[in-house]
Amino acid sequence: ALLRENLVAAQEYAQKLEEGEEDPDKRPERDLKLEIICQALRGELPVKAHAHRRDDIFTALRIAREFGLGMTVEHATEGHLAADVLKELGARVILGPYLCGKGKVELQNMSLEAPARLAKAGVPFALMSDHPETPVQFLPVQAALCVRAGLYEDQALRAITIDAARLCGIDDRVGSIEPGKDADLALFSAHPLSLQAKVLAVFVDGRKVR
């Protein structure tokens, strides 16, 4: 209810700003909070919904559709229990972290099989570490565990590279090796998801830094 209240207030604020362009006397007093929400309504800022349970996930998606928000659902712990529905709703989710316990009731249905189920259903997803909840350097370990639980190796690698970049809206710069993108690269001694893999070299903007 609070979320909808603020989104509606931002819509009304945006309308008053438009009216103020034609008639300065109608221009509203500046509201920095509503200005930020207006950017989200215009699609200029991504919206991230922190949701674990199915009911909260569906609420977030309903609000996203109602207000035309470019939203990703963060965590989506119970999303795999309704993967087909998420596909129908056009959900985009960022799963994780998985290197943690089930210390609260929202995590009771957490499963490493979730990424494989969402992949099978065709739901766009990426993996997160929720740094510093789980240090970011363990993100490949999470991906490897998801492979053991049924996710294809190439899907797991994409979930921490190009698919993650795409869901964050920065795939024009990072996430894959293509002409025109940032030349930030890492060279490994083995497959990046292998626990035995060691970093041999790191390049930032095409310059070797390690």
Tell if the pTM clears 0.85, that is, is over it.
yes
Q: For the chain, which residues score pLDDT lower than 50?
A: none
The pLDDT, as a whole number, for residue 193 is: 96
d(CA 66, CA 83): 21
The pLDDT, as a whole number, for residue 119 is: 98
Domains, the chain, ordered by start = 1-45 (no CATH), 46-175 (3.20.20.140), 177-210 (no CATH)
The pLDDT, as a whole number, for residue 137 is: 93
Beta-carbon count within 10 A of 170 CB: 13
The pLDDT, as a whole number, for residue 144 is: 97
The pLDDT, as a whole number, for residue 169 is: 93
Q: How far does the chain reach from its first CA to its final CA, in angstroms?
A: 50
